[in-house]
């Protein structure tokens, strides 16, 4: 609740700060805002659950944990954005303002207790993302990506709204509580097909946002076309918020688990397949990360499919592990791509990383740890993420999906290791890349947390 | 607590080595390796074979999940810890004569590897076991991929994906077992022993474990990564892989597969046995054809590990004891042989048998050491190989006489490829490649002498080591037979 208010106010303040002559205060100010929002988020920790805004928003420890993850991710992403000082066309105040607003949307999605709140949250988040995707105005790819994202996103929103309407028609309410009540009291003889159809349509809209197959077609192009910093934002924050919302919705319709689990399971399998197989054939590291984002949506969907007691922890932990590694991977990518740029265009191919370890051992190490974590190798947070996911599936007794995920993880190792191989074992023209101290701190922090959670996942367990 | 010290000491030594800079790295690494050996020998002196798991520690790791950071040492663990700590300083010392770029990283990776291996051999929690099992892969992957031969990137990548692929199945199996434990779940290996699982579930679990360990060892037909990786890796990494890492697979069979899925063994053990025996013969026959010395020894190692696995699958006292003593013996012999190949290669710049010959003429010391290690490898009585092979073959013979007879061919085939190796490289007319061949230096002798002493010690008085493991093996067999 507090972060929503604070972030809305700060977003407006940030826009006004854009009028100020000195561009240097913008970044420190927004970082301060985020720290305040992050701090205020935990005021309500352990006291909940609270219900706000006429029973439309719920605050409990789970939503606070998700908020914490997205605010922490946002802090890291803002910090490595470096104030957009190297881009003369950039409008930093607007970007920061939009990102702050989109965080508000994300927090609404995470805590929604009313479908309208979900819808508003999704729209606030998405509209800001459409704009940011196209923020590199003079770049054709960026424009294309924004248009694609907008059109596809609009369709998805349409489905979502239609679904909500049908749910309303069936239950007579937008409230999650009412939907839950309806689902659990539905007599087997007179099943409400309107309800089922509504739920499915709503799921389609949400699965689109987390880029699950077969609603993933926008992902590679949009991730690749958008400026990398906003790709990072999309692939961490949007995904975390989307999964929090999905988990919330399905957790409240647990009574009809038998109806939807097979749908989600099929989508999980398809998503893992598309993401992993797609990622193997990419020549561009950035595009590979887009497909890897799809595959991780697939793994997360396993936890949603199982929806057992460990699922909740699994989703929180996995989102955190995934966000940390994704931020460091994109962070290193931005530096390398800029350094190796060809005719002003950033070089995002694997070859750009050749010989990275020689001159930039820190960057190579950060990248290697993030790849190991994404691949789920032990001693990294990603391993425990997968562990929790598999245990949630085992608890439900759907081992076959874990076996499939394991096969797909092996495929994952193939493409994640390509960049490690490039940076450690291949020769390339090595230039020492200058990294701003603050940037360095963020990368080291993300790596440190990845290893810390990899060694001692119990720390995290005590937090939740 | 000694167990914790054994795991942490190499890590600490590795970190110090990493920070020590180029010049001192190898000396510090050697000191670290020797210190670990010292602790291991101290552990041995304190060890009471009859008392089961000792010197253990247990910290909550995921408290609510019943997963703990727990390790301890019983007879089977101790033998492998002794092997690891004995061989690591020798591996470090053997690398002294070669100049490796960035030595600090090189030697620290060897020490990290040692820590992970000790972790595998001592873990009493299934997930800790898995963690170390995977973690051991990372240092050796980097060792091979950075300092290896020309084809290193492709070859080590295959090796990495192959082995991870296998162990992920084991991971799913462990998660499944974890959920079968009663009450609030626990992942202690001893709790897994108590589970009463249905025959069908055990059948699946058998294959999940079998694939993981069979790839690691490797057993036929999962061995295709092995010869290339052994050949392309720098010799210290090859030594780690063949001398110690493949023992992780055999150890896994003994520690997890046998006692957890006895019914799975009953269903599929025969098939696994057949695969192991095929590996023995197949590996030996290919070894006879090889002309690259390193590849030849790689295939011989593949054949030997097949016999160890066959002994384990016989699930008899002789088989297990034989496998354990053979692990020790094989580790010693194969490291010695790889070192000698490395010595020859570093002087002649070739490993091909056709280009070598006549080395004996100028090298009395090398010839003697080489011959002793080689005879140990072909299981001549009074050398270390004999004890293990005798026990193993007798166990396979008891299991199925005809299988024993087929597996017994290993002794003949082994002599063929090993003696061929010696004859072609050491005897005959002096080839132009071996002109000016120098005999062993002091540091090379410092590596080979302990190995040769161990060859005789195990060969003449094996009960020093057999009695360490016997109570633990008996206990394990009781579990299997119940």
**Most A-contacting residue of B144, B164, B177, B215 (CB-CB within 10 A), to test interface:** B164
A406 to B175: CB separation less than 8 angstroms, yes or no: no
Looking at CA atoms only, how far is residue B152 from chain A in angstroms?
A: 9
B63 to A458: CB separation less than 8 angstroms, yes or no: yes
B61 to A425: CB separation less than 8 angstroms, yes or no: no
Give the count of Cβ contacts less than 8 A between chain A and B.
69
In the block, tokens 């993401």 appear at A275
Does B168 reach chain A within 8 Å, measured CB to CB? Answer: yes
pLDDT of residue B315: 86
In chain A, the percentage of residues whose pLDDT exceeds 90 is: 51
Name the β-bridge partners of B125: B188
Digit-coded pLDDT (tens) for B232-284: 888 889 899 888 998 999 999 999 988 888 888 888 889 999 999 999 999 99
> Encoding tokens for residue B358?
């006549």
pLDDT of residue A274: 94
ipTM for the predicted complex comes to: 0.84
Please check the confidence at residue A464 and state whether its pLDDT lies above 70: no
Looking at CA atoms only, how far is residue A314 from chain B in angstroms?
A: 13
Distances (CA, A) of B304 to A44, B229, B307: 63, 17, 5
B152 to A421: CB separation less than 8 angstroms, yes or no: no
| C-alpha–C-alpha distance, residues B289 and A30, integer Å | 70
> Is the distance from CB of A104 to CB of A282 less than 8 angstroms?
no
Instruction: Decide the pairing of beta strands B67-73 and A57-59.
Output: unpaired
Digit-coded pLDDT (tens) for A435-452: 888 889 999 999 999 999
Using alpha carbons only, give the angle B61, B62, B63 rounded to the nearest 5 degrees: 95
Closest CA in chain A for residue B129: A378
Of the candidates B13, B2, B160, B144, the residue with the CA atom closest to the CA atom of residue B81: B2
- Of the listed ranges A29-33, A345-349, B316-320, the least confidently predicted one is A345-349
Please check the confidence at residue A189 and state whether its pLDDT lies above 60: no
Of the candidates B140, B95, B87, the residue with the CA atom closest to the CA atom of residue B116: B140
B164 to A413: CB separation less than 8 angstroms, yes or no: yes
| C-alpha–C-alpha distance, residues A290 and A274, integer Å | 11
Does B171 reach chain A within 8 Å, measured CB to CB? Answer: yes
Please check the confidence at residue A68 and state whether its pLDDT lies above 70: yes
A414 to B161: CB separation less than 8 angstroms, yes or no: yes
Looking at CA atoms only, how far is residue B180 from chain A in angstroms?
A: 9
Q: Which of B63, B153, B164 lies closest to A421 in CB terms?
A: B153
Digit-coded pLDDT (tens) for A75-134: 999 998 876 766 667 788 888 999 999 999 999 999 999 999 999 999 999 999 999 998
| C-alpha–C-alpha distance, residues B399 and A374, integer Å | 46
pLDDT of residue A463: 61
pLDDT of residue A319: 93
Looking at CA atoms only, how far is residue A215 from chain B in angstroms?
A: 29
Looking at CA atoms only, how far is residue B128 from chain A in angstroms?
A: 10
Sign of CA dihedral B5, B9, B15, B19: positive
pLDDT of residue A86: 67
- Of the listed ranges A198-212, A292-306, B255-269, the least confidently predicted one is B255-269
Looking at CA atoms only, how far is residue A425 from chain B in angstroms?
A: 6
Tally Cβ neighbours within 10 Å of residue B431: 16
| CB-CB neighbors (< 8 A) of B176 in chain A | 394, 399
Of the candidates A427, A389, A75, the residue with the CA atom closest to the CA atom of residue A236: A75
Does B131 reach chain A within 8 Å, measured CB to CB? Answer: yes
- Of the listed ranges A269-273, A359-363, A457-461, B231-235, the least confidently predicted one is A457-461
Q: Which of B62, B165, B176 lies closest to A410 in CB terms?
A: B165
A391 to B179: CB separation less than 8 angstroms, yes or no: yes
Looking at CA atoms only, how far is residue A41 from chain B in angstroms?
A: 26
Q: C-alpha B273: how far from its chain's center?
A: 19
Q: Which of A377, A410, A458 lies closest to B60 in CB terms?
A: A458
In chain A, the percentage of residues whose pLDDT exceeds 70 is: 97
| C-alpha–C-alpha distance, residues A319 and A210, integer Å | 12
Q: Which of B127, B131, B178 lies closest to A379 in CB terms?
A: B131
| CB-CB neighbors (< 8 A) of B63 in chain A | 458, 461
pLDDT of residue B209: 92
Q: Determine whether B69 is exposed, middle or buried from the number of CB atoms within 10 Å of its CB (0-12, 13-18, 19+).
A: buried
Q: Which of A403, A406, A425 lies closest to B145 in CB terms?
A: A425
End-to-end, the C-alpha distance of chain B in Å comes to 32
| CB-CB neighbors (< 8 A) of B174 in chain A | none
Q: How confident is the model at residue A159 (pLDDT cuts 50, 70, 90)?
A: very high
> Is the distance from CB of B75 to CB of B470 less than 8 angstroms?
yes
Residue A262 has phi, psi (to 5 degrees) of -70, -30
B164 to A426: CB separation less than 8 angstroms, yes or no: no
pLDDT of residue B116: 93
Does B64 reach chain A within 8 Å, measured CB to CB? Answer: yes
A424 to B63: CB separation less than 8 angstroms, yes or no: no
**Most B-contacting residue of A458, A461, A462 (CB-CB within 10 A), to test interface:** A458
Low-confidence ranges of chain B (pLDDT < 50): none
| C-alpha–C-alpha distance, residues B281 and B286, integer Å | 9
**pTM of the entire structure?**
0.89
Which 3 state secondary structure label does DSSP give B60?
A: strand
| CB-CB neighbors (< 8 A) of B142 in chain A | 424
Looking at CA atoms only, how far is residue A4 from chain B in angstroms?
A: 33
> Is the distance from CB of A228 to CB of A334 less than 8 angstroms?
yes
């Amino acid at each position: 609740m507090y972060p929503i208010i604070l972030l809305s106010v700060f977003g407006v303040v940030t826009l006004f700060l854009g009028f100020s002559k000195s561009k240097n205060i913008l970044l420190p100010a927004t970082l301060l805002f985020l720290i305040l929002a992050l701090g205020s988020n935990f005021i309500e920790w352990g006291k909940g659950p609270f219900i706000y805004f006429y029973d439309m928003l719920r605050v409990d420890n789970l939503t606070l944990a998700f908020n914490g993850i997205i605010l922490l991710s946002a802090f890291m992403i803002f910090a490595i954005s470096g104030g957009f000082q190297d881009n003369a066309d950039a409008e930093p105040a607007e970007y920061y303002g939009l990102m702050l607003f989109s965080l508000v949307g994300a927090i609404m999605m995470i805590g929604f207790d009313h479908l309208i709140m979900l819808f508003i949250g999704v729209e606030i988040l998405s509209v800001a993302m459409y704009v940011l995707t196209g923020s590199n105005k003079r770049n054709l790819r960026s424009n294309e990506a924004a248009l694609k994202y907008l059109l596809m996103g609009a369709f998805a929103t349409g489905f979502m709204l239609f679904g909500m309407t049908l749910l309303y028609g069936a239950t007579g309410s937008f409230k999650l509580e009412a939907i839950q009540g309806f689902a659990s009291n539905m007599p087997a003889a007179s099943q409400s097909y309107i309800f089922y159809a509504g739920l499915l349509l709503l799921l389609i809209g949400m699965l689109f946002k987390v880029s699950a197959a077969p609603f993933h077609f926008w992902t590679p192009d949009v991730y690749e076309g958008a400026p990398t910093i906003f790709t990072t934002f999309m692939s961490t924050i949007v995904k975390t918020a989307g999964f929090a919302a999905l988990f919330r919705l399905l957790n409240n319709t647990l009574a009809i688990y038998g109806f939807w689990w097979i749908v989600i399971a099929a989508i999980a399998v398809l998503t893992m397949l598309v993401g992993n197989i797609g990622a193997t054939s990419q020549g561009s590291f950035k595009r590979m990360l887009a497909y890897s984002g799809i595959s991780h949506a697939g793994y997360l969907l396993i936890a949603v499919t199982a929806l057992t007691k460990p699922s909740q922890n699994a989703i929180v932990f996995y989102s955190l592990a995934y966000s940390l590694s994704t931020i460091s991977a994109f962070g290193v990518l931005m530096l390398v791509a800029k350094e190796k740029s060809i005719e002003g265009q950033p070089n995002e191919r694997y070859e750009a990383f050749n010989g990275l370890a020689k001159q930039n051992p820190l960057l190579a190490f950060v990248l290697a740890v993030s790849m190991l974590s994404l691949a789920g190798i032990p001693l990294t947070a990603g391993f425990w993420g997968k562990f929790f996911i598999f245990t949630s599936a085992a608890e439900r007794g759907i081992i076959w999906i874990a076996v499939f995920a394991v096969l797909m993880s092996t495929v994952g190792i193939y493409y994640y290791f390509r960049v490690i191989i490039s940076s450690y074992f291949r020769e390339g023209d090595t230039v020492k890349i200058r990294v701003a101290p603050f940037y360095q701190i963020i990368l080291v922090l993300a790596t440190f947390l990845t290893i810390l959670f990899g060694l001692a996942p119990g720390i995290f367990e005590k937090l939740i | 607590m000694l167990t914790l010290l054994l795991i942490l000491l190499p890590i600490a030594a590795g970190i110090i080595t990493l920070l020590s800079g180029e010049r001192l790295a190898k000396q510090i690494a050697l000191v670290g390796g020797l210190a670990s050996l010292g602790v291991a020998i101290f552990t041995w002196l304190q060890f009471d074979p009859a008392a089961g798991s000792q010197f253990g520690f247990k910290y909550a790791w995921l408290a609510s999940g019943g997963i703990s950071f727990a390790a301890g040492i019983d007879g089977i663990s101790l033998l492998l810890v002794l092997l690891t700590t004995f061989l690591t300083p020798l591996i470090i010392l053997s690398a002294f004569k070669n100049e490796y770029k960035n030595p600090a990283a090189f030697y620290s990776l060897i020490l990290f590897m040692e820590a992970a291996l000790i972790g595998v051999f001592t873990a009493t929690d299934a997930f800790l076991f898995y963690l170390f099992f995977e973690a051991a892969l990372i240092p050796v992957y980097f060792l091979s991929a950075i300092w290896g031969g020309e084809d290193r990137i492709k070859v080590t990548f295959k090796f990495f994906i192959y082995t991870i692929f296998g162990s992920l199945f084991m991971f799913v199996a462990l998660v499944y077992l974890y959920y079968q434990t009663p009450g609030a779940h626990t992942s202690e290996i001893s709790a897994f022993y108590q589970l009463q699982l249905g025959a069908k579930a055990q059948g699946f679990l058998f294959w999940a474990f079998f694939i993981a360990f069979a790839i690691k060892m490797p057993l036929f037909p999962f061995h295709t990564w092995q010869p290339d990786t052994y050949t392309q890796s720098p010799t210290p990494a090859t030594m780690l892989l063949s001398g110690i890492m493949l023992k992780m697979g055999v150890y896994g069979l003994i520690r997890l597969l046998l006692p957890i899925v006895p019914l799975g063994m009953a269903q599929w053990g025969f098939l696994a046995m057949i695969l192991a025996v095929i590996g023995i013969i197949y590996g030996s026959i290919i070894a006879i054809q090889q002309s690259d010395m390193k590849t030849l020894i790689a295939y011989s190692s593949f054949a030997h590990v097949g016999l160890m696995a066959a002994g384990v699958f016989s699930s008899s006292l002789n088989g297990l004891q034989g496998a354990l003593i053979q692990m020790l013996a094989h580790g010693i012999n194969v490291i010695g042989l790889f070192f000698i190949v490395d010595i020859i290669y570093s002087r002649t710049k070739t490993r091909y048998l056709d280009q070598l010959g006549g080395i004996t003429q100028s090298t009395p010391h090398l010839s003697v050491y080489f011959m002793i290690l080689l005879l140990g490898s072909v299981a001549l009585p009074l050398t270390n190989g004999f004890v293990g092979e005798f026990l193993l073959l007798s166990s396979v013979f008891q299991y199925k006489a005809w299988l024993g007879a087929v597996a017994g061919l290993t002794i003949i085939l082994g002599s063929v490829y090993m003696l061929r190796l010696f004859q072609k490289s050491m005897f005959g007319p002096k080839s132009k490649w071996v002109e000016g061949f120098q005999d062993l230096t002091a540091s090379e002798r410092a590596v080979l002498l302990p190995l040769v002493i161990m060859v005789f010690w195990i060969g003449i008085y094996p009960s020093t080591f057999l009695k360490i493991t016997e109570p633990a093996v008996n206990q394990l067999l009781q579990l299997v037979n119940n």
